[in-house]
Structure 1
C-alpha cells in the first residue's frame, strides 16, 4: 500500500512565534494566528515577501515599505485569502501604500528574533496583510519557527517505513527548503506559498498515485486540504483552540508530532 503524508509547516512541523502590527492603530499583536487574522475579513490577503530579513533590517525605519519593494524589486506570494483576487491588483495596493514603514516591520522582526535566536535551526518569514477594500497595507507580519521536538524523528521513521512525506505551506519556499533539508524531505516535495486551494489540489494530485493520503495541519488554511484527504490529522501542539470546522473534519487530533507514527499503522490496517 502506498501512503503519502502532507504536512503543514508553521504550528505543525515548526513551533512558530508570530508578531503582527496593525498599521492603522499601532497595536502589536503577540503570537497571533495570522491565517485566522486574515480570514476574519474577506478583504484581507496575506502576502509573503521574498526578501531576506537581514536586508529589511538594514534600511531606514522611516522608509515606506512600498518604496522599498519598488526600489529592490522584491517579489511576493499570496499565502492566504478568502476570495479570489488578481495578483496584479494586490501588487498595485502594495506599491502605492503610503502608511506602512520599514520600522513597522522591523519592530515585529526584533521581537521574533529575540524568541528564536538561541535555537540551532531557525526559519524566519516576513509578510504583509493587505486590505483590498481600504487599499492599504493593514498589518506587517513576522514569523519565526524551529522544528518541534520529535519532528526529525517522525519524518525519518516515516521514510524508513516507505511513506512519502511532503510539505505544503503558506510560507516562502526558501524558508521551507532549509527546514526540509534538516528533516530529510526532498526539495521536489516542498510546496511553498500554498493557498488553501493549492493545498487541496496537492492532496488531490497525490491521491492519483497513492492509495491513501494523510493531511496534517493546524489552522484554518489547512481546512480544504484536510477535507480532501483520506485521513485528516489536526495538530494541537501549538494551540488546542481551533475553529469548529477544523475539529469537525479531523479524524485524529494530536498533541505531539510523533503521534503521527501511531496513526499510519492504523491507516494501513484500515485500508485492508
Structure 2
C-alpha cells in the first residue's frame, strides 16, 4: 500500500538562509546576494560547477596557484549543477583547465562569506564556466544557516509519518551535515541534483506516495515543482524570485513553517 505524503526539499534558500557572493573574472566586480543560477540561466554556454573540496583545502593551496592548478594538482572532482547550453563535464573540465584565474579570487569570496555570516552552518565554493569566454566567468562562494523553523518543520513531518527528502545541487560533503541535523536518512539525500534529476526524483517518489510535495526557491527547481503533486516556491530568502519560478508553483510561501499547513490536508 502506497504511503500518503513525501516532501522533497531543496537545501540552499529553502532549508538554509543563504549568503552568496560571486566575483567576475573579467572585471573583478563583486556581486553580493546574487542568485547564482541567474548567472547561468540568461547566458547560453554557461554552467554552474560545484567543486568537491572544502575551504581549508582551498586555503592550503599554493599562494600563486591558479584554480586549474589547484584542481588538477589535488585531483579535485567537479560536477555540473545546472547549465545553459548542454555543456558536457568533459567540456567543462577543459574550460577550467584553459583558465588562468588565480586561486586567490576564490579565497577572496570565501573570506567575504565568512565575515558576512560568522556563525556559519554551511560553506561551499564553486565556479561558473562560459563556453564563449573560453574559461571561468565567475568564482563564487555560498554560506548559510538554518532558518529558525527548519528543525521544527522537519520534526513535525517525522512525528506525523511524513517522509522528508533533500534534492540539492550541492555535494554530499555539505548535505551530510544538514541531513544529520534534520534527522533525514542519508538514503533520502540526493546530491549534485540537476533540474532534470530533481524532476526524476519527484516522479520516482510518486510511484511510492499518494502525494509528493516539492519545496524549492530557485530556477533549478522549476521542473520538479511542475512535476510534483504540489509544487511550493518559497521566497523566505527575501530577494525577488523570478516570475517563471512563482508561476511554476502551486503555492508560494514566505516561511518554511507554512509547509505544515500545505501537508495537513494531504494526510486526510
Q: TM-score, normalised by structure 1?
A: 0.95
How many correspondences in the alignment?
A: 266
Matches within 5 A, 1:62-211: 62-98=64-100, 100-119=101-120, 122-211=121-210
Corresponding position: 1:266 with 2:265: yes
Contact 1:48 1:171 in 2 (8 A): yes
Counterpart-to-counterpart distance in 1, 2:198 and 2:63: 36
Corresponding residue for residue 52 of structure 2: 50
Q: CA deviation at 1:163?
A: 0.6
Q: Deviations over 1:185-226 (max 9, x none)?
A: 111111111111111111011111111100000111100000
Local SS of the residue matching 1:125: strand
Local SS of the residue matching 2:91: helix
Q: Deviations over 1:55-107 (max 9, x none)?
A: 11123443111011111111111111123222111111112212x11110011
In structure 1, stretches of 5+ residues that fail to align are none
C-alpha RMSD of the superposition? 1.2
Contact 2:46 2:87 in 1 (8 A): no
Contact 1:49 1:77 in 2 (8 A): yes
Which of 41, 44, 47 is the matching residue for 2:43?
Answer: 41
Query: Hey, which bits of structure 1, 4+ residues long, moved more than 4 A?
Result: none
Contact 1:123 1:144 in 2 (8 A): yes
Counterpart-to-counterpart distance in 2, 1:10 and 1:170: 9
Q: CA deviation at 1:240?
A: 5.1
Q: TM-score, normalised by structure 2?
A: 0.96
In structure 2, stretches of 5+ residues that fail to align are none
Corresponding position: 1:7 with 2:9: yes
